[in-house]
Structure 1
Amino acid sequence: MGLDSKPRAATLDATGSYDLADFPVPTGREEEWRFTPLSRLRGLHDGGAVATGGVLVEVDAAPEVSVETVGRDDPRVGRSFVPADRVSAQAYASFEKATVVTVPKEAVASRPTVITVRGAQPGAAYGHTVVAVEPMAEAVVVLDHQGSATYADNVEFVVGDGAALKVVSLQDWAADAVHVSHHHARLGRDATFRGFVVTLGGDLVRLSPSVAYTGRGGDADLSGLYFVDAGQHLEHRLLVDHTVPDCRSNVDYRGALQGDGAHAVWIGDVIIRVEATGTDTYELNRNLILTDGARADSVPNLEILTGEVAGAGHASASGRLDDEHIFYLQARGIPADEARRLVVRGYFAQLLEKIEVPEIRDRVLAAVEAELAR
């Protein structure tokens, strides 16, 4: 429990590849895999997960938005990123069809576009999604994951110059699901990206969001909420790579854990390269330990290669409920269980306000309430 202080290998020289052979099979001793229980990945990391299963992808798009199902040879697929680890490369090598969502230039979507991914048949499955927001356009996209699956995928968010994209990714899997996903956002000049991750379900979920900038003025805000129950492993690994001057990033992830063997992992990497003068960045992770037997590993990393920054910082905290807060509420006649729920609700409240889709916000709040009722 608490901040992990083990020295960490630098990410500056990390390279990616579309070729699966360029990534050795993980052993668990590598820095990027040392927290992940490889035996529970069902072969997604070592080639053992043959694509015999399936997921059903359904898109309810805003009228201004176009949706296509394309093959691997579509030039829009794989344009904005290069896989950075073996599972991402495996997913890229194994998917058959990709979903491409396009918001045309200067269009403003009148309602959210909802992409639902639902486990459809047993066995491993692989997927790929591209969300392209053309210059000066605006949209909200919801990724909703449900059901039982063994699933690995890559999601590309391409945000054009002056465009704005808000994304909510909800991992609401069944209790036996395994999901390893990589989200890659590429921001153009003066582009805005707001990503909100909610991870509640699944046996093992490992989600890796990353942000890259291609022009000045890019602004990324990455938020996350997770609730880990007994036996669950929920892992979030973020990378924000500042390579362009005068860009901004803010990261705020908060989790709650309860039950024996509940394990949360949060890794936050922010790189400010020599050329990225004027960068303004901050990352924060908090974990609330509700019961004995739960463990949170939190590792914020900040690599700065220029002294000309507007701001740079990081923080991490993991701890138990504040007894004084509980006592204060009980002294005013509130029962202990209700006091506990109020404190946890307040802990998540600021983040929940960032979810601008009321139906999703209400659904997440109800899920948190259900977790606390246990």
Structure 2
Amino acid sequence: MKVLTVIGARPQFIKAATVSNKIRRNGNSEILVHTGQHYDNNMSDIFFEELNIPKPNYNLSIGSSNHGHQTGSMLIALEEIYLKEKPDMVLVYGDTNSTLAGALCASKLLIPVAHVEAGLRSFNKAMPEEQNRILTDHISDLLFTPTLTALNNLRNENVINGVHNVGDVMYDAVNLFKERAKEVSKVIETFDLAPNSYILSTIHRAENTNSLERLTSIIKALSNSNKKIILPLHPRTKKFIQEYNLHVGDNIKIIDPVGYLDMISLQENAQKIVTDSGGVQKEAYFLKKPCITMRDETEWVETVNNGWNVIVGSDTNKILDALENFNPTGTPASAFGNGDTSSIITQIIEDHLK
């Protein structure tokens, strides 16, 4: 079989690291297309190097721009590639503009679409990610859900055919790479960090960065905490902090974005994690770290229901209270499969294309 995989953003590189290797290991052909949605070294190249992801056959170098322009540019470029390569199936991940463009272009050309991480819903249609995931689900032929909640979301939308609850490929990735991170990553030594001595934070969602009120409230909370905060700073967040002229407290150590192995190491050694990232919420859960989510909702309701994630929005007082007092006990329940999701996905695709 010939599968064409479309990726473009950090979380998709991590997911593809597990699935692409399974596809190719079974003697199948994979064409890898990198849209260039994340394009600098710290957000892109380093992931291919660290995770042994095959070099992309095509790099579209689309870069950052407004949603319509970015998605349209991807559609134009992808159509030409699809017509040339004639894949049996197009595989997309997650909820980015790359996801939607990859799926929509294939659907228009009557090429079957497989969507990894289908069925997620925040029920906030103002989020670009929510728009992308809903549209992608409704034009996909194979829908791989990571949880029973995601499966039920699709059923509620009458999306039934081709749906498979397979678990989460990011659980595969954490299991695969966390030991390697211990051997390879030097980030803890580089920044002279003791285990459980700091809070790890990430901020990148448009709902937070594009809002002066929300970003001010978040930075104020982190700055007023008595905890040491390590903040790998997303380029967009850095731009808005400077644009809004926000004061960042002395307790916050800003570092450049890091690769996946360094990020796993930072998470595994953190006392708590405070984030607006969906992927980081799950990684915190897999690594048994308390997670404080700076959003008004989450797609990963299992992490909240099982007591290891708390939703605080951008409220300064709620963030500060959680930083001080949120301390889950016990062990996170298994809700994301058994760590063999990439093998299950590959087998289902193979069976579908026979």
TM-score (norm. length: structure 2): 0.30
- Quick one: higher RCO (CA 8 Å, sep 6+), 1 or 2? 2
Structure that is richer in helix per residue: 2
